[in-house]
Structure formats: C-alpha cells, structure tokens
Homo-oligomer: A and B are copies of this chain.
Amino acid sequence: MNGSSGLSWRMIREAVTRISGRVNQTPVLTSETLNRLAGASLFFKCENFQKTGAFKARGATNAIFALSAEDANRGVVTHSSGNHAAAVARAATLRGVPSHIIMPDNSVAAKVESVKRYGGKVIFCSPTQAAREGETARIIAETGAVLVHAYDDLHVMAGQATTGTELLDEIEDLDIILCPVGGGGHLSGISVAAKTIKPSIKVFGVEPAGADDAARSFAKGEIIPSVNPQTIADGLRSSLGERPFREIQRDTDGIVTVSEDAIVMAMRQIWEIMKIIVEPSAAVAYAAILEEKLPVEGRKVGIVLTGGNLDLDKLPWA
C-alpha cells in the first residue's frame, strides 16, 4: 500500500457527515484548578461521554455505515475484549445487521454483558492472538461477515479522526494535542485531521512506559511489536497497526511515555477535581502533563480523554 492509499482528508470529512447524529458530539471541559497546577490552558475532550463510553464508537460507526448494503447484510465481525467490541455491536445494530464479536474467554463479565446489550453475538475463544485470529477467519469463512479491525482500518481511523475535527472546531487556537496511543487508530486520525486544519499544531502520542512499542517504533522508523506489555492501561497494550503507523510517522510530532504512578495519579486527579469518570487508558495524556514530559507552560493544550469504562469494584488506588 502506497502513500496515496493512506488516510485522506476527504475520508475524514465523509466520516464527519456519516457519523453525525449516530454518535455524540462530546463536550470539551476545562478546570481552573488543573490549569493552575499545569501552568497551561487545558481543554479536555471528553470521549468518556461518547456512546458506549469510549471514542471507539466513532470508528466502528464510520466503518459499518461506509459498507455497501450488500456487504453490510453479510454482517460484521471483530475481535476485541474492550471498548471496540461494544462499539461494533452498537453500530451494527444501528445499521440493522448482525455482528459477531470474538472475545477471549477471560474477558471481564461487564464487558461481555455490554456487547450483548448492544445486540452483538459473542463468540468466546482462548485468550491468545492466534485463537482470536483463527476464530475470526472461521466466522468470515462461514458467514461472509466483513472484518472491522479495531484500528488497522482506514475507515475506522477516519472515524476516530473526528475527535480531532470536533476539538479544533470548538477550540480553534490550540497549540498542542496529546492523545493516548495503543494500536494507533485514534492518534493517527487525530494527527492527520489536526495537521490538515492547522499545520502549525503539534500532536503527541502518550503511552505507558510499560507498553512503549509506539515510542520505540516511532524512534526506529519501523513497527516493533508490543511484547508482554505491563500496564494498568488495558486499552493501550496493543501493537501499533501498519496503516496508523504510516500516518503517525508523517503527522505526529512525537511519542512520550509515562509511569504507572503518574497514570493512577492523573486518573485520580481527574476524578477528584473534574468530577468525571475516566478509565486508566484515558488518563495517560494528562499523566504526561503531571510528569512534565513536554513544555506546555502558557500553551493551549488539547487533552484527549478516550473513555470511561472500568470496573468500579477494582479501582487502582484501592
């Protein structure tokens, strides 16, 4: 695949139109207290208030509504233990087509219930990458269902990019955007969108030091897979996808890493001071501010809060 078949601004604009009314336009919140602590003006884009509780609704909705009627009617399939699973189930139900959601058999019960509530058909498999992919191939062979990958998919990336278009529509003069990076779908989409709208803006990915494949891949210029990632931020354990990586190499300004302590402290500060629920993966961008990983003094900084789904019985400070 060459550069011309990457994520285009046209695809992003089409995604904005396609998902409008099907997902939430999320609020941008500010906090005088956090601004004072940071010495900067922080603008929190609240994807925890998105449908299904995470930004994943954007990409899944765009990808599923971009399918031809013929393709859509064969149904969709994905493998995910997390927020993408619920997003695909919801979007498929909204379009009126079946969804097959392959989940590891050690998935959190609440996440399985959520997928079922949104109308997804759950298929359990062993918790290995090989089992997930094998099961996906089997479903595709049996049903003809279309794969909606969690991040290595241009329509998914275009959908996630709309977090960036909305943020810059509302706060036009941002200097910097910080976004968590796992598979890279969200970061790549936001980077392309932001650089198109405002070429002078800086966009950084943030990831846990214990799952730093994106930082190492970015530094080396080739994908280094995530091996045995160790982090509380369960949404950021994936390896960087090929399609996202291509955009990140061109349009993202850097990747910084944060400690587990900073992630937990960031999450707690957001809960205590902003009174909103974010999951650990969603707190890493603000953790980079806490650890002073970037010079933000006096700047206007967009902080992407990616989601708010977690088990309230297992809080990281308990």
Contacts and interface: CB of A to CB of B under 8 A. Distances in A.
A70 interface: no
A169 to B, nearest CB: 19
A272 B312 contact: yes
A289 B191 CA distance: 44
Interface in A287-318: 308, 312-313, 315, 317-318
A276 B277 CA distance: 5
A271 B308 CA distance: 9
A312 to B, nearest CB: 6
A49 B32 CA distance: 12
Nearest to A307: B275
B277 A48 contact: no
Given A27-B27, A318-B318, A53 B275 contact: yes
Contact of A312 (B49, B53, B317): B317
Contacts of A317: 312-313
Counted per complex, copies of this chain come to: 2
A176 to B, nearest CB: 25
B275 A48 contact: yes
Nearest to A313: B317
Interface in A42-62: 48-49, 53
Contacts of A313: 317-318
A54 to B, nearest CB: 10
A149 interface: no
Nearest to A32: B51
A275 B276 contact: yes
Contacts of A277: 271-272, 275-277
A317 B318 CA distance: 12
A268 interface: yes
A207 B260 CA distance: 41
A276 B315 CA distance: 15
A48 B31 CA distance: 13
16 contacts: A48-B275, A49-B275, A53-B275, A271-B277, A272-B277, A272-B312, A275-B276, A275-B278, A276-B276, A276-B277, A277-B277, A312-B315, A312-B317, A313-B317, A313-B318, A318-B318
Given A275-B277, A276-B276, 17 more contacts: A27-B27, A48-B275, A53-B275, A268-B312, A271-B277, A271-B312, A272-B277, A272-B312, A275-B276, A275-B278, A275-B308, A276-B277, A312-B315, A312-B317, A313-B317, A313-B318, A315-B315
